[in-house]
Structure 1
Amino acid sequence: MSVQGVLAQATVRDLTRAEAWYETVFGAPPGARPMNGLLEWHFGAGFGVQVWAEPDRAGHSTVVLSETDLDGLSARLTRAGIEHPGPQPGGGQRVLQVFDPDGNRLVFTGA
């Protein structure tokens, strides 16, 4: 097997509400809309995050992303009104957890 990339996925109820929230968190609009009900943010060649509208499964996803500036992200999210506890110790580094409107968890990791 030769994996070339990965798209983590968060499943949501309301795609319009989710799009606004994820755009705020990621600091940019989605880079692709490959089909109805699906948004994608690409962070590099072969990796990114999908947000998929599937109400029956919404709110049970966890997405883990490595972030080079955890403190800067924390400050930006605070300014944007995204609630979070700030960076915390975890797994030998620091983590910043945020929850989307459906309860999906985004975990940003960094030094």
Structure 2
Amino acid sequence: MEPDPRFTLANERTFLTWLSTALALSAGGVGIAALPEDVFVPWIRAVLAIMLVALSALAAGMAYPRWRNIQRALRNQAPLPPPALAALFGYGVALVAVVALVLIVVSLRHV
């Protein structure tokens, strides 16, 4: 059975949002990696960049399987699968933000 087109289109918008989130995470990681060497401790800067780019790859890599699983559930009128990676992304981005915030505050104290 074909699902209601509104649900299919909402699922597609969510898929595209996962991809744009992946692009933003990747851009953030590249931006942090490109900071001058005197900004933040180099190994922490590298860890932040790697975390963001890894989250980006995970978001991009899981976007299509999630879309497909939801589409299958809609067609079969089955319960939707839970957002298994939501906590990982939420906590991962929060961790990067907290570490960056601490580094910014520490660097401002030395100015």
Which structure has the higher relative contact order (CA within 8 Å, separation 6+)? 2
Could you say whether these structures have the same fold, taking a TM-score greater than 0.5 normalized by the shorter chain as the test?
A: no
TM-score calculated relative to the size of structure 1:
0.24
**Structure with the larger helix share:** 2
